[in-house]
Amino acid sequence: MNQQATPKDIVDTAVGAGQFKTLVQAVQAAGLVDTLKGPGPFTVFAPTDEAFAKLPKATLDSLLANPSALRDVLTYHVVSGTVQAADVVKLSTAKTVQGGNISIAVSGSTVRLNGSVTVTQTDIKASNGVIHVIDTVLLPPSMQTATPAPAKTGNAGLGSAPRSSVWLVAGAAVAAGMGAAIARRATAR
Protein backbone atom coordinates (compact mmCIF):
# COMPACT_ATOMS: atom_id res chain seq x y z
CA MET A 1 0.00 0.00 0.00
CA ASN A 2 1.48 3.31 -1.06
CA GLN A 3 0.47 5.96 1.46
CA GLN A 4 1.67 9.49 1.09
CA ALA A 5 2.29 11.39 4.32
CA THR A 6 -0.20 14.16 4.98
CA PRO A 7 1.59 17.50 5.36
CA LYS A 8 1.63 18.92 8.88
CA ASP A 9 -0.13 22.18 9.72
CA ILE A 10 1.85 25.43 10.00
CA VAL A 11 2.56 25.05 13.72
CA ASP A 12 3.72 21.43 13.48
CA THR A 13 5.77 22.24 10.37
CA ALA A 14 7.50 25.09 12.26
CA VAL A 15 8.16 22.81 15.25
CA GLY A 16 9.57 20.10 12.98
CA ALA A 17 11.89 22.51 11.16
CA GLY A 18 13.89 23.15 14.33
CA GLN A 19 14.81 26.75 13.41
CA PHE A 20 11.63 28.36 14.75
CA LYS A 21 11.75 27.56 18.48
CA THR A 22 11.34 31.21 19.51
CA LEU A 23 8.52 31.73 17.00
CA VAL A 24 6.68 28.67 18.32
CA GLN A 25 7.19 29.89 21.91
CA ALA A 26 5.81 33.30 20.90
CA VAL A 27 2.81 31.73 19.10
CA GLN A 28 2.05 29.76 22.28
CA ALA A 29 2.44 32.85 24.53
CA ALA A 30 0.13 34.86 22.24
CA GLY A 31 -2.55 32.18 22.23
CA LEU A 32 -2.36 31.70 18.45
CA VAL A 33 -1.67 27.95 18.29
CA ASP A 34 -5.28 26.93 17.62
CA THR A 35 -5.65 29.64 14.98
CA LEU A 36 -2.52 28.58 13.10
CA LYS A 37 -3.53 24.92 13.37
CA GLY A 38 -6.93 25.86 11.89
CA PRO A 39 -8.02 25.38 8.29
CA GLY A 40 -6.52 28.63 7.00
CA PRO A 41 -5.10 28.85 4.49
CA PHE A 42 -2.32 31.10 5.78
CA THR A 43 0.95 32.43 4.46
CA VAL A 44 3.44 32.94 7.28
CA PHE A 45 6.61 35.00 6.95
CA ALA A 46 8.43 33.11 9.68
CA PRO A 47 11.39 34.69 11.50
CA THR A 48 14.07 32.17 12.48
CA ASP A 49 15.57 31.89 15.94
CA GLU A 50 18.47 33.98 14.61
CA ALA A 51 16.00 36.69 13.54
CA PHE A 52 14.52 36.81 17.04
CA ALA A 53 18.06 36.92 18.47
CA LYS A 54 18.51 40.29 16.73
CA LEU A 55 15.87 41.76 19.05
CA PRO A 56 17.16 43.13 22.37
CA LYS A 57 16.46 40.54 25.09
CA ALA A 58 14.41 43.05 27.09
CA THR A 59 12.19 43.68 24.05
CA LEU A 60 11.62 40.00 23.41
CA ASP A 61 10.92 39.37 27.11
CA SER A 62 8.50 42.32 27.15
CA LEU A 63 6.64 41.01 24.10
CA LEU A 64 6.47 37.48 25.51
CA ALA A 65 4.97 38.96 28.71
CA ASN A 66 2.35 41.00 26.80
CA PRO A 67 0.11 38.70 24.75
CA SER A 68 -1.75 41.58 23.07
CA ALA A 69 1.39 43.31 21.75
CA LEU A 70 2.87 39.93 20.84
CA ARG A 71 -0.30 39.03 18.91
CA ASP A 72 0.04 42.28 16.93
CA VAL A 73 3.64 41.45 16.01
CA LEU A 74 2.91 37.83 15.11
CA THR A 75 -0.25 38.47 13.09
CA TYR A 76 1.74 41.07 11.14
CA HIS A 77 3.73 38.06 9.83
CA VAL A 78 0.60 36.32 8.51
CA VAL A 79 -1.25 36.89 5.24
CA SER A 80 -4.62 35.26 4.63
CA GLY A 81 -4.54 32.69 1.83
CA THR A 82 -1.72 30.71 0.30
CA VAL A 83 0.74 33.03 -1.39
CA GLN A 84 3.49 31.01 -3.07
CA ALA A 85 6.87 32.58 -3.90
CA ALA A 86 5.86 32.88 -7.56
CA ASP A 87 2.93 35.04 -6.42
CA VAL A 88 4.89 37.05 -3.82
CA VAL A 89 7.32 38.35 -6.45
CA LYS A 90 4.40 39.81 -8.43
CA LEU A 91 3.15 41.86 -5.48
CA SER A 92 4.26 45.25 -4.18
CA THR A 93 2.33 44.93 -0.90
CA ALA A 94 0.48 42.31 1.06
CA LYS A 95 -2.25 42.94 3.66
CA THR A 96 -1.56 41.11 6.90
CA VAL A 97 -4.02 39.50 9.30
CA GLN A 98 -2.97 42.22 11.80
CA GLY A 99 -4.35 44.82 9.38
CA GLY A 100 -1.14 46.49 8.27
CA ASN A 101 0.56 46.14 4.92
CA ILE A 102 3.95 44.61 4.23
CA SER A 103 5.84 46.18 1.33
CA ILE A 104 7.48 43.76 -1.08
CA ALA A 105 10.44 44.54 -3.33
CA VAL A 106 12.22 42.13 -5.65
CA SER A 107 15.77 42.64 -6.90
CA GLY A 108 17.07 39.74 -8.93
CA SER A 109 16.43 36.65 -6.84
CA THR A 110 16.23 38.60 -3.56
CA VAL A 111 12.87 39.42 -2.00
CA ARG A 112 12.80 42.11 0.69
CA LEU A 113 9.90 42.95 2.96
CA ASN A 114 9.52 46.47 4.36
CA GLY A 115 12.83 47.44 2.80
CA SER A 116 15.20 45.47 5.00
CA VAL A 117 13.82 42.02 5.83
CA THR A 118 15.11 39.31 3.48
CA VAL A 119 13.16 36.20 2.54
CA THR A 120 15.76 33.43 2.84
CA GLN A 121 13.68 30.34 2.00
CA THR A 122 10.31 29.99 0.29
CA ASP A 123 7.37 27.68 -0.17
CA ILE A 124 7.62 25.40 2.85
CA LYS A 125 4.30 23.66 2.39
CA ALA A 126 1.91 22.91 5.24
CA SER A 127 -1.56 21.37 5.21
CA ASN A 128 -3.12 24.79 5.91
CA GLY A 129 -0.82 27.13 4.00
CA VAL A 130 2.77 27.99 3.30
CA ILE A 131 5.79 29.32 5.21
CA HIS A 132 8.43 31.71 3.86
CA VAL A 133 11.50 32.08 6.09
CA ILE A 134 12.73 35.60 6.92
CA ASP A 135 15.92 36.88 8.54
CA THR A 136 14.45 39.65 10.73
CA VAL A 137 11.31 40.08 12.83
CA LEU A 138 8.79 42.35 11.08
CA LEU A 139 7.26 45.16 13.14
CA PRO A 140 3.73 46.40 12.49
CA PRO A 141 3.30 50.09 11.61
CA SER A 142 1.92 50.76 15.11
CA MET A 143 5.38 49.90 16.47
CA GLN A 144 7.31 51.93 13.94
CA THR A 145 8.09 55.60 14.23
CA ALA A 146 9.59 58.22 12.00
CA THR A 147 13.35 58.42 12.07
CA PRO A 148 14.07 60.18 15.37
CA ALA A 149 16.46 63.01 16.03
CA PRO A 150 19.68 61.82 17.66
CA ALA A 151 19.13 61.05 21.32
CA LYS A 152 20.70 63.33 23.88
CA THR A 153 23.11 61.70 26.28
CA GLY A 154 21.24 60.72 29.41
CA ASN A 155 17.81 60.95 27.73
CA ALA A 156 15.94 58.43 29.85
CA GLY A 157 19.16 56.43 30.05
CA LEU A 158 18.96 55.52 26.36
CA GLY A 159 21.46 57.94 24.83
CA SER A 160 24.09 55.30 24.15
CA ALA A 161 21.74 52.51 23.05
CA PRO A 162 21.54 51.75 19.32
CA ARG A 163 18.76 53.86 17.80
CA SER A 164 16.91 50.85 16.36
CA SER A 165 16.83 49.20 19.80
CA VAL A 166 15.50 52.35 21.45
CA TRP A 167 12.68 52.74 18.94
CA LEU A 168 11.85 49.04 18.98
CA VAL A 169 11.47 49.20 22.77
CA ALA A 170 9.47 52.41 22.47
CA GLY A 171 7.23 50.85 19.83
CA ALA A 172 6.63 47.79 22.00
CA ALA A 173 5.83 50.06 24.94
CA VAL A 174 3.31 52.02 22.87
CA ALA A 175 1.67 48.81 21.71
CA ALA A 176 1.55 47.65 25.32
CA GLY A 177 -0.26 50.84 26.31
CA MET A 178 2.72 52.23 28.19
CA GLY A 179 3.58 55.00 25.70
CA ALA A 180 1.90 57.80 27.70
CA ALA A 181 3.76 56.89 30.90
CA ILE A 182 7.09 56.85 29.07
CA ALA A 183 6.33 60.18 27.37
CA ARG A 184 5.42 61.78 30.73
CA ARG A 185 8.66 60.50 32.26
CA ALA A 186 10.76 61.72 29.33
CA THR A 187 9.23 65.22 29.37
CA ALA A 188 9.62 65.48 33.14
CA ARG A 189 13.41 65.38 32.78
Number of domains in the chain: 2
Q: 82-123: per-residue pLDDT in tens?
A: 999 999 889 999 999 999 999 999 999 899 999 999 999 999
The Cβ of residue 37 has, within 10 Å, a number of other Cβ atoms equal to: 17
Residue 176 lies in a domain: yes
pLDDT at 187: 33
- Are residues 24 and 71 located together in one domain of the fold? yes
- Are residues 88 and 180 located together in one domain of the fold? no
Q: 120-158: per-residue pLDDT in tens?
A: 999 999 999 999 999 999 988 877 644 333 334 443 433
Residue 5 lies in a domain: no
**pLDDT at residue 172 tops 60:** no
- Are residues 84 and 111 located together in one domain of the fold? yes
pLDDT at 62: 83
- Are residues 85 and 151 located together in one domain of the fold? no
How far is residue 64 from each of residues 24, 92, 102, 119, measured CA to CA in Å? 11, 31, 23, 24
The Cβ of residue 91 has, within 10 Å, a number of other Cβ atoms equal to: 15
Regarding pTM above 0.75, the answer is no
Neighbouring-strand partners of residue 110 = 107
Residue 52 lies in a domain: yes
- Are residues 98 and 154 located together in one domain of the fold? no
Residue 60 lies in a domain: yes
Nearby residues of 64 by Cβ (< 8 Å), 6 or more positions away: 25, 26, 29, 70
Q: What is the 3-state secondary structure (H, E, C) of 155-179?
A: HHHCCCCCHHHHHHHHHHHHHCCCH
Final residue belonging to a domain, choices 100, 123, 138? 138
Residue 2 lies in a domain: no
Say which CATH number the domain at 101 has.
2.30.180.10
Cα 89 from Cα 133, distance rounded (Å): 15
pLDDT at 178: 36
Residue 21 lies in a domain: yes
Q: 48-71: per-residue pLDDT in tens?
A: 999 999 988 888 888 888 889 999
> Could you list the residue range(s) of the whole structural domain that residue 189 is in?
145-189
- Are residues 150 and 127 located together in one domain of the fold? no
Cα 27 from Cα 126, distance rounded (Å): 16
Residue 104 lies in a domain: yes
Residue 90 lies in a domain: yes
- Are residues 75 and 162 located together in one domain of the fold? no
